[in-house]
């Protein structure tokens, strides 16, 4: 079995993060690999919906709504860390296309061989 790297893009602006987690949450529902995942898909979707609603309300500039948005994003980010960790532990190279289709980044890491330093001329 080969080792692959899986990630979900939860960085950047809220709008970018939301777009990515929405896509990944939808993708999880169709991902055979995630059938026995650590967080039920409906719970993931509820958290993403909460983040989405908090994001919209936070646009008003109301401090409590902005705090709610930050908290909702933190919850979603933590969920996706667990999901990615799980996927990475069960995925194989054959799963890469399905993971990519589901909105995750997946690839086989390329390790560079260390080259010996050239001998000193002297």
Query: What pLDDT, on the 0 to 100 scale, is given for residue 112?
Result: 56
The domain limits of the chain are 5-107
Whole-prediction pTM: 0.85
pLDDT digits (tens, 9 = 90+) for 70-101: 999 999 999 999 999 999 999 999 999 999 99
Segments in the chain below pLDDT 50: 1
Q: Of 93, 105, 90, 116, whose CA–CA distance to 23 is shortest?
A: 105
Q: Round to whole Å and give the CA distance between 71 and 66.
A: 9
Query: What pLDDT, on the 0 to 100 scale, is given for residue 85?
Result: 96
Query: What pLDDT, on the 0 to 100 scale, is given for residue 116?
Result: 57
Query: What pLDDT, on the 0 to 100 scale, is given for residue 32?
Result: 92
Query: What pLDDT, on the 0 to 100 scale, is given for residue 109?
Result: 82
Contact between 13 and 116 (Cβ < 8 Å): no
Q: Which residues contact 88 (CB under 8 A, 6 or more apart)?
A: 4, 5, 6
Count of Cβ atoms closer than 10 Å to residue 52 Cβ:
17
Query: What pLDDT, on the 0 to 100 scale, is given for residue 115?
Result: 61
């Amino acid at each position: 079995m080969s080792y692959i790297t899986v990630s979900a893009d939860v960085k950047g602006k809220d709008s970018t993060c939301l777009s990515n987690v929405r896509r990944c949450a939808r993708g999880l529902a169709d991902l055979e690999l995630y059938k026995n995942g650590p967080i039920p898909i409906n719970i993931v979707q509820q958290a993403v919906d909460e983040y989405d609603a908090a994001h919209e309300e936070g646009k008003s500039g109301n401090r409590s709504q902005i705090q709610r948005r930050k908290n909702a994003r933190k919850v979603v980010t933590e969920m996706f860390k667990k999901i990615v960790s799980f996927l990475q532990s069960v995925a194989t190279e054959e799963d890469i296309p399905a993971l990519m289709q589901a909105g995750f980044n997946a690839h086989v890491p390329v390790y560079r061989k260390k080259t010996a330093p050239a001998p000193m001329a002297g």
